Amino acid sequence: MTYKTIIKAALAGLTLALTSVPASVTAETLRVMRGAPSGVLNIPMNRAVVVETDTPYAELSVANSGIADISSISDRTIYVLGQEPGRTTLTLLGADGRLITNVEVHVTPDITEFKERLEQILPGEHIEVRTANNGIVLSGTVSSTARLDRALELAERYAPERVSNLMSVGGTQQVMLKVRFAEMQRSVRKSLSSSIALQGTTLGGDLGVLGGGNTLATAAGANAGVSAGTLGSGDANGAMLFGFNAGAVEVGILLEALETRGVVRTLAEPNLTALSGQEAKFLAGGEYPVPVVQEEGRTTVEFKPFGVELNFVPRVVDGDIINVELAAAVSSIDPSVAVTQSGFAVNGFKRRETSTTVEMRDGESFAIAGLLSDDFQDINGQVPWIGDVPVLGALFRSAEYQREQTELVIIITPHLVTPTRGEALALPTDRVQPPTERDLFLFGRVAADEAPTQGGAGEIARQDFSGSYGYVLDE
């Protein structure tokens, strides 16, 4: 067996070994002509290209074997396998030591398989995939943010930390959030008290006895007649005075029954529109000055906002599914709580707030907060020992109870919205026209009678509202 036969057998074995790569690895051919400029050899990662030359080579080398691996099949054929994304140079030398050519090898991520997986996972999305240097560039328009994130996550599997995102999100990406604060406060207070007074002369001496469970009886004093003025204060409500004489003794009985009821209704409906992923803020109210003493003893003023506050970040997740990160509050000044500092009187605040993140579809509603408080207290006062006497003891006792209930509900409703023509929108000021001097001074009108003819208010004014319309409240 000659050396030539041994070399051919070895090359044949090497060819079989190299071609026994996985089925996904395919080989293409690039022909290199001596004296002609060689083009760039683009090789997908884990794929191979066969380079053929018209001149036999004696020596070949690659600048970076980590990017591309080379094997010699014959003196005119080279097998190049892409290893890692990057650029390197393949050098071919002839038998006389002269340079045949330098081939620039460019190994790129395998986007063929990536495109197939992208089409399977995100069908119908118009995403363009390109290679740039050793990374992947994604461009096009996707239907939602969630699909965009899925495409980027898949691309990271093929080119970790080498993915450029040039995609944009199509569809409606502006969200209007409608928030409704509804609060009801109810309070009931009832009190029943009695007082008795005895005054006169008996057994040769003066008699003056005051008793009862209410301080109204303390106004009576010795040598004073039994009257409403002596037994009750001037601001007594629901007080009745009974009096009679028993010989030289005057007897006065005061009964006081008081009932108070109160209802407070608070309703706020702020609406705010923002782009998906962007924060929006809303405040309808004002700012309250609060003095703050600094460390060096100097007093500064800080302003604390109050009123209806709304901060939210909407995110259109997929289609009409909206993720809402929300912080809402309703606050007001409470004059019943005050603190005096450095000569300044600072009032407290009543504040109802919530902060949460929810997800819902366009037009759906969530009651994100609800509160029901029920406070009850009663007080029973009496004159010691005498108040325990049956029947008669009721004249020396007073009873009072107070109950306060509060209900608070916060409901949010997101809507996907698009811009419209400005002429179709009506403003509150469009429906009120300033009066002329004739209307103001001669007829005392604070607004003109002419209906608006332009804008959204004009469209409403031209409508026919004859017949029944509006809201009907049945009680």
Q: Give per-residue pLDDT as tens, 81-105.
A: 988 888 888 888 888 888 888 888 8
Distances in Å between the Cα of 256 and the Cα atoms of 104, 131, 192, 237 are 106, 91, 6, 7
CATH of 111-169, one of 1.20.1530.20, 1.20.58.220, 3.40.50.2020, 3.30.1340.30: 3.30.1340.30
Every domain of the chain and the residues it spans? 37-108, 111-169, 182-260, 422-474
At residue 26, the pLDDT reads 42
At residue 231, the pLDDT reads 37
Neighbours of 196 (CB within 10 A): 21
Cα(412)–Cα(177) distance, integer angstroms: 7
The answer to whether the beta carbons of residues 50 and 21 sit under 8 Å apart is no
Return the structure tokens found at 258. 């008081």
| Site of tokens 């029954």 | 257
Beta strands 99-108 and 41-44, pairing class: parallel
pLDDT tens track for 117-130: 888 888 888 888 88
Cα(158)–Cα(453) distance, integer angstroms: 63
Q: Give me the amino acid identity at 76.
A: R
What is the pTM for the complete model shown?
A: 0.55
At residue 468, the pLDDT reads 59
Cα(121)–Cα(153) distance, integer angstroms: 12
| Site of tokens 């366009």 | 362
Q: How many CA atoms lie within 13 A of 376 on its CB side?
A: 1
The answer to whether the beta carbons of residues 264 and 352 sit under 8 Å apart is no
At residue 460, the pLDDT reads 59
At residue 428, the pLDDT reads 67
Q: Which long-range contacts (CB under 8 A, 24 or more apart) does 285-292 make?
A: 285/309, 285/331, 288/333, 288/347, 288/349, 290/346, 291/341, 291/342, 291/344, 291/346
Beta strands 135-142 and 59-62, pairing class: unpaired
At residue 215, the pLDDT reads 41
At residue 414, the pLDDT reads 93
Positions in the chain short of pLDDT 70: 1-38, 171, 198, 200-239, 242, 247, 342, 422-424, 426-431, 449-475
What is the helix (H) or strand (E) element at residue 112, kind and residue range?
A: helix 111-121
Cα(57)–Cα(76) distance, integer angstroms: 6
3-class DSSP state for residue 455?
A: helix
CATH for 37-108 is: 2.60.40.1080
At residue 36, the pLDDT reads 60
Specify which residues 405 forms β-bridges with.
Answer: 186, 374
What is the helix (H) or strand (E) element at residue 303, kind and residue range?
A: strand 299-318
Cα(340)–Cα(317) distance, integer angstroms: 50
